[in-house]
Amino acid sequence: MTARHWATAGALLAGLAVALGAFGAHGLRNHLDAADLATFDTGARYQMYHAFALLAVAWLADRAPSRPAETAGWAFVIGIVVFSGSLYLLTLGGLRWMGAVTPLGGISFLIGWLNLALAARHLPNHE
């Protein structure tokens, strides 16, 4: 994918995180207990963090395209879907077994951060 695609994905996923965060804070407060609200909020926060990470991927992909940058982008997208998505389903759908899936999304996030660091090594050195 191009830098434009990564930036677009990051911006859309960040906007969705804002909407989900507001929904959790205002629309769900009378429907979920405090623990489930906190879990939902964790999903929205991690989605936002990693949407910002996609903007970093876009920046790197524009300046120094590399396989690690591409891998980081996909790992962040997969992490958002699996980590945050599983927390949303756990709290909204009552699918408690989704809690077992959540760590796989966390591993994807870690893979993304490692690859982002590797991608940064492809930047030109301007000393």
9's tokens: 């994905």
Residue 16: CA count within 13 A, CB half-sphere? 16
What dihedral angle (degrees, nearest 10) is formed by the CA atoms of 48, 54, 60, 62?
Answer: -120
123's tokens: 């930047």
- Supply the pLDDT for residue 118: 97
- Supply the pLDDT for residue 124: 86
End-to-end alpha carbon distance in the chain: 30
Residue with token string 């989605």: 47
Q: Which bin fits 56, alpha (ψ -120 to 50), beta or left (φ > 0)?
A: alpha
Each residue's pLDDT expressed in tens, for the chain with a length of 127 residues: 899 999 999 999 999 999 999 999 999 988 989 999 999 999 999 999 999 999 999 999 999 999 999 999 999 999 999 999 999 999 998 888 888 999 999 999 999 999 999 999 999 887 6
